[in-house]
Amino acid sequence: MPNLIIPAIFATLFVTASGSTFAQGERETTALPHWSRAADAGLARQEIYPVEFDGKIYVAGGLQTPAPGFTAYFEAFDAKLNRWSKLAPLPEARHHIALAETGGLIYGIGGFSGAYPDWQMHSSVFIYNPKNNRWSDGPGMPHPHAEGVVEAVQGKVYSLGGRSAMKPDAKHFRDYEDTVQSDVLDPSTQQWHRIADAPSARNSAGGAVIDGKIYVVGGRTVVRQADGNLSQVNVATLEVYDPATNTWTIRTPMPQAQGAPAAATYAGKLYVFGGEQWVPEKKAFAEGWIYDPAKDTWSALPALPTPRHGLGAGVVANRIYFIDGATQPGANEPSKLNEVLELQPSR
């Protein structure tokens, strides 16, 4: 049974029709945590892996509906101005391309091209320079990769788990399998290196960095049935990678298994929202959770105003922005939503 705590601060929260939260006996404008809306993104899409840099949240590629099904669209949200800016597009259209920032440059790692089910996985790395709004080619990964967790720590870019190709000419969703393989890119040498395998194979997990360690949470595993069909089963596992020691630890799992959630960190804690489920019934999640690494405990938070999966998250000041994502399971109903959870300012 997970270590679940419902703090008193959340016990008196109510949700308005607009999705905002307020505490009993208090004005809506003063209660925290508090949901609100920010400017919608420029494009409705899902399966995005944004990154925050210098007060802006960058979003690249993604899945769309209808065809062509994926995009090279690239934009940035300026939280201070509550405004989106369209930027130079990706060199090639991708979905599930993961962004990480180090040294003032944004790295776009892996991803797929093609509309479902004809997905082709890539090992490409694109590097974006915000100063001149230009992309360039980076050192390709040792193997095609997507749907893992990509984070930057101490000047290096880590790619953990996800899915990899089962054969060199993989071009279909069924041609991929979950992997424990993890790698690191050292930009100073332009080289990738293998690191310790993740404890479990999964895809579509949430990821975030706390105190130099990478937290990998939730997601799902793809189980191949005897008839060849694939079943996607959610997992609640929380695993933590320490780059300093090249080791993994397993912590208390999420209270609920949520595939394709968004994760972020604020004030030394992990926030996880949304996701989807395929079995036993198809649904999109609104539930949100906060994890305290010091106590190894989870607590419930006021839910997303709009259930979504394949969404992205970015933190600016004391606000977490939950961007895009699909409101229905699968490649259905992508959105432009930008819903904001305002938290107590850190001291």
Tens digits of residue pLDDT in 286-336: 999 999 999 999 999 999 999 999 999 999 999 999 999 999 998 889 999
Q: What is the mean pLDDT of the chain?
A: 91
Q: Compute CA distances 211 → 95, 166, 240, 252, 265, whole Å.
A: 29, 35, 11, 18, 10
> Distance between CA 152 and CA 118 in Å, rounded?
30
pLDDT at residue 209 is higher than 60 = yes
pLDDT at residue 222 is higher than 90 = no
Q: What pLDDT is recorded for position 5?
A: 44
- 306 in any annotated domain: yes
> Distance between CA 318 and CA 314 in Å, rounded?
11
pLDDT interval class at 12 (50, 70, 90)? very low
Q: Residue holding tokens 């926030």?
A: 271
Q: What pLDDT is recorded for position 11?
A: 38
Choose between 58 and 7: higher pLDDT: 58
Do 262 and 273 meet the contact criterion of CB atoms below 8 Å apart? yes
Q: What pLDDT is recorded for position 27?
A: 44
- Which of 13-27, 190-204, 228-242 is the least confident region? 13-27
Q: What pLDDT is recorded for position 173?
A: 85
Choose between 222 and 62: higher pLDDT: 62
- Which of 23-27, 50-54, 159-163, 229-233 is the least confident region? 23-27
Do 217 and 237 meet the contact criterion of CB atoms below 8 Å apart? yes
pLDDT at residue 232 is higher than 60 = yes
The domain total for the chain is 1
Instruction: Look up the CATH number of the domain holding residue 317.
Output: 2.120.10.80
22-41 pLDDT per residue, tens: 334 344 445 789 999 999 99
- 194 in any annotated domain: yes
pLDDT interval class at 279 (50, 70, 90)? confident
Q: What pLDDT is recorded for position 10?
A: 39
Q: Which residues pair with 120 in a beta bridge?
A: 113
pLDDT interval class at 66 (50, 70, 90)? confident
- DSSP element (H, E) containing 9: helix 8-11
- 347 in any annotated domain: no
Other residues' Cβ atoms within 10 Å of the Cβ of residue 198: 23
Do 3 and 298 meet the contact criterion of CB atoms below 8 Å apart? yes
145-157 pLDDT per residue, tens: 999 999 999 999 9
Q: What pLDDT is recorded for position 21?
A: 40
Other residues' Cβ atoms within 10 Å of the Cβ of residue 193: 11
- Which of 13-22, 78-87, 164-173, 216-225 is the least confident region? 13-22
Q: Residue holding tokens 């080619």?
A: 137
pLDDT interval class at 169 (50, 70, 90)? confident
Q: What pLDDT is recorded for position 67?
A: 65
- Owning domain of residue 158: 4-342
> Distance between CA 161 and CA 152 in Å, rounded?
15
> Distance between CA 258 and CA 217 in Å, rounded?
9
**Residues whose CB is less than 8 angstroms from the CB of residue 243 and which lie 6 or more positions away in sequence, other chains included:** 153, 154, 156, 158, 184, 195, 212, 213, 214
Q: What pLDDT is recorded for position 30?
A: 54
Half-sphere exposure at residue 197, Cβ-oriented, CA atoms within 13 angstroms: 8
Q: Residue holding tokens 């797929």?
A: 112
Q: Compute CA distances 46 → 205, 269, 272, 311, 338, whole Å.
A: 14, 25, 17, 6, 12
Q: What pLDDT is recorded for position 230?
A: 76
Q: Compute CA distances 97 → 23, 61, 73, whole Å.
A: 39, 7, 12
Q: What pLDDT is recorded for position 4?
A: 47
Kindly state the percentage of the chain with pLDDT values over 90.
80
